[in-house]
Chains A and B, each alone.
Chain A
């Protein structure tokens, strides 16, 4: 039989162990949560700016930091170029940094994340914009109000847009010639578009697909919804914002502007949404367009530049992409998206958002202003990898080498159709996008699948929008 009595020495030993463990647990419990920022050397006092890595190469990073340093030698700045395949991936990585306690001061945020950041993380720029109104007058005069409005949330401005991309139609001139079709008119219709696709298909081989598109929030089904005068979520404007419009924009330009966009009730079951899906399903059935593929259209440049695709929706960013892929200036061109019920179009914009956790908010504001300057943007956007938000930067010289000939289309999408608006991106955007992509894939598997898939999409969107993020 084992003696279950403890000796005095054992009792003391176990008592000491227990006291040690309790002390350790107590210390751990009372300690502030350790984060990545507590690692010695992490916080070197720099203003940390997180950018989407692939968009900003080493040269661009140097441009940003050196230029800012010359202007503000007292503010140390560090660019954190986050490598990500798309905006969704980028936000996931930024949120991981925030969770790790190493939040940057400024984050480059596109339309997809504007409202999420504004609602949960961002600082309104209103007080600084009002304070430096005189200095900013030149900036706002150069930037379309729709872009500025897309950066507002519930009456406050959260970012100064520095770039944008609206969905226009890129055309391969070689394919157009082969089809014997002329360059489409600016007011071409959806039927003109369908006829062009048929002409292209007839004149090319079986390995040719006239219309290529990628299943994503920007530039997927959404342009067709906009052209058919509808949207995935009911769109309205938040009240407020007059403090900005009255200060910076003339009456004609500020008419109808509010305090930012609101996307609320899902409307996937609406007849016009169904019409848009039916149209795409019919194009797929006829072999005129690709089936929806997920992802970011990595293989699109290759198939377009080699003439295996005739047309595709893209923004100003593609001018640089096609040029880098070896396409000469005259070998492709761009036109507005075709008219259906309307020619209103969707866009996405981006700028720097200031995070609430930043302890260098005044310095961050200086960086935001610096990043929106014309000279900064000119140096940053040398290769036409995007459309600058400043109208004055879009000129013949910029597109002389890369093309397209109709480069004016990029900014005219805003100027000629002033109700052109951002893609629907409420704070629940991640789930909304996921639901859209998932059900679009199913809806377009056959014309019969459209209605049931849209019914399920409506249900899932309702669930997503009910969630508080």
Chain B
């Protein structure tokens, strides 16, 4: 038996040759160590995020063409944007793209995650998981080049295939609505793998007991998913939608390669306008102003999402 009695008088500790550090010194040491561990991340964020953001804001107040020295312009670059129809159209396109692409991406990812999580051999589940995730690791530009061939109105494989069943060639990339739809399809096909993986993880965390209890109460099929799975999956859904929206608002490669923003401006996105204004027209100040507006838009949309999430997201 162990003696747990506490002695009435605590024995004095033997005098140590090295005095124990004072609490303040220990705290300082801990803080220093923490700062040391945090430093690489903080330096990375400052150098690669904070400085470029501040730089963009500052540059948006100047006229700069790379070749000559920047000239202070005040708010002239922002005033210019108000009357620029291309910029306005690009913001509209980007918002339309974001809404449709993210909704489709989440829907496809969720349905496939539910399907893969159902009853099937483990090896088949692994095959599906890899197959759905695979497009995400490919370069968006390479995928878009291939898709451009596939969706070519006159010589593409897609029109050839639908031609076999008597459907007339579809102007996938050369009509205004067709081009936006095709860009969204290509984007979703490549991107949904990320949301899919999040949903698969989220579904695995839903306690089996809850489903069993719901089954005992008579919930089945779609009803079970709507009232049990979805609410429990809402934190994952929030993460997937935040990441999806931020990515969609910055879409560039797919419309750039597939349609070059056309026909007309129908698939021109904000990031395309930033690229064209800066690197093709050498108006870096104006491009930065567009960049700042996009930054504000992303921040606003993300803030709105988190605000709404208080009502719709349920944590276990």
Interface residues of A (CB under 8 A from B): 88, 91-92, 95-96, 98-99, 120-121, 206-207, 209, 212, 215, 290-295, 298-299, 302-303, 308, 430-431, 434, 437-439, 441-442, 445, 453, 467, 469
Say how far A464's CB is from chain B's closest CB, in angstroms: 8
* Contacts A98-B66, A291-B171, A437-B262 given; does A303 touch B155 at CB 8 Å: yes
In the bound assembly, the distance between CA atoms of A212 and B153 in angstroms comes to 12
Choose one: B66, B160, B174, B264; the contact of A207 (CB below 8 Å). Answer: B160
Q: Which of B225-262 contact A (CB under 8 A)?
A: 257, 259-262
| Contact (Cβ within 8 A) B263 A442 | yes
| Contact (Cβ within 8 A) B281 A445 | no
Say how far B255's CB is from chain A's closest CB, in angstroms: 10
In the bound assembly, the distance between CA atoms of A298 and B173 in angstroms comes to 15
Say how far B252's CB is from chain A's closest CB, in angstroms: 14
Say how far A326's CB is from chain B's closest CB, in angstroms: 17
In the bound assembly, the distance between CA atoms of A71 and B127 in angstroms comes to 61
B60 within 8 A of A: no
| Contact (Cβ within 8 A) B174 A292 | yes
Choose one: A212, A294, A430; the contact of B282 (CB below 8 Å). Answer: A430
Stretch touching chain A among B144-152, B206-214, B288-296, B299-307: B144-152
| Contact (Cβ within 8 A) A95 B282 | yes
| Contact (Cβ within 8 A) B280 A299 | no
Given contacts A430-B281, A431-B280, A441-B264, 13 further A-B contacts (CB under 8 A): A120-B65, A120-B67, A207-B163, A215-B262, A292-B174, A294-B260, A294-B261, A295-B257, A299-B149, A302-B155, A431-B281, A438-B265, A445-B263
Interface residues of B (CB under 8 A from A): 65-68, 145, 148-149, 152-155, 160, 163, 171, 173-176, 257, 259-265, 276, 279-283
| Contact (Cβ within 8 A) A445 B175 | yes
| Contact (Cβ within 8 A) A209 B154 | yes
Q: Which residues of A contact B283 (CB under 8 A)?
A: 467
Q: Which residues of B contact A445 (CB under 8 A)?
A: 174-176, 263
| Contact (Cβ within 8 A) B279 A92 | yes
| Contact (Cβ within 8 A) B280 A442 | no
In the bound assembly, the distance between CA atoms of A445 and B149 in angstroms comes to 20
Q: Which residues of A contact B153 (CB under 8 A)?
A: 290-291
Q: Which residue of A lies closest to B282 (CB)?
A: A469
* Contacts A209-B154, A290-B154, A295-B148 given; does A430 touch B264 at CB 8 Å: no
Q: Which residues of A contact B67 (CB under 8 A)?
A: 95, 98, 120-121
The 21 sampled A-B contact pairs (Cβ below 8 Å) are A95-B66, A98-B67, A120-B67, A207-B154, A291-B153, A291-B174, A292-B174, A293-B174, A294-B259, A295-B260, A298-B145, A299-B152, A299-B155, A308-B154, A437-B260, A438-B262, A438-B265, A441-B174, A441-B263, A442-B263, A442-B264
Choose one: A92, A120, A453; the contact of B280 (CB below 8 Å). Answer: A92
Choose one: A121, A294, A302, A303; the contact of B262 (CB below 8 Å). Answer: A294
Say how far B189's CB is from chain A's closest CB, in angstroms: 20
Choose one: B68, B263, B276; the contact of A434 (CB below 8 Å). Answer: B276
Say how far A359's CB is from chain B's closest CB, in angstroms: 17
Q: Which residues of B contact A442 (CB under 8 A)?
A: 262-264
In the bound assembly, the distance between CA atoms of A87 and B67 in angstroms comes to 18
7 closest Cβ contacts across the A-B interface? A294-B260, A441-B263, A442-B264, A92-B279, A430-B280, A441-B262, A291-B174
Choose one: A92, A293, A438; the contact of B264 (CB below 8 Å). Answer: A438
In the bound assembly, the distance between CA atoms of A298 and B174 in angstroms comes to 16
Q: Which residues of B contact A293 (CB under 8 A)?
A: 152, 173-174
Say how far A21's CB is from chain B's closest CB, in angstroms: 15
In the bound assembly, the distance between CA atoms of A95 and B64 in angstroms comes to 12
| Contact (Cβ within 8 A) B279 A95 | yes
| Contact (Cβ within 8 A) B66 A99 | yes
Which among A212, A434, A453 has the highest number of chain B CB atoms within 10 Å? A434
Q: Which residues of B contact A469 (CB under 8 A)?
A: 65, 281-282
In the bound assembly, the distance between CA atoms of A290 and B259 in angstroms comes to 15
Q: Which residues of B contact A294 (CB under 8 A)?
A: 259-262
Q: Which residues of B contact A98 (CB under 8 A)?
A: 66-67
In the bound assembly, the distance between CA atoms of A430 and B280 in angstroms comes to 6
Q: Which residues of A contact B174 (CB under 8 A)?
A: 291-293, 441, 445
Q: Which residues of B contact A437 (CB under 8 A)?
A: 260, 262
Q: Which residues of A contact B176 (CB under 8 A)?
A: 445
* Contacts A290-B154, A291-B153, A292-B174 given; does A434 touch B282 at CB 8 Å: no
Say how far B263's CB is from chain A's closest CB, in angstroms: 4
| Contact (Cβ within 8 A) A96 B262 | no
| Contact (Cβ within 8 A) A434 B145 | no
Q: Which residues of B contact A99 (CB under 8 A)?
A: 66
Q: Which residues of A contact B149 (CB under 8 A)?
A: 299
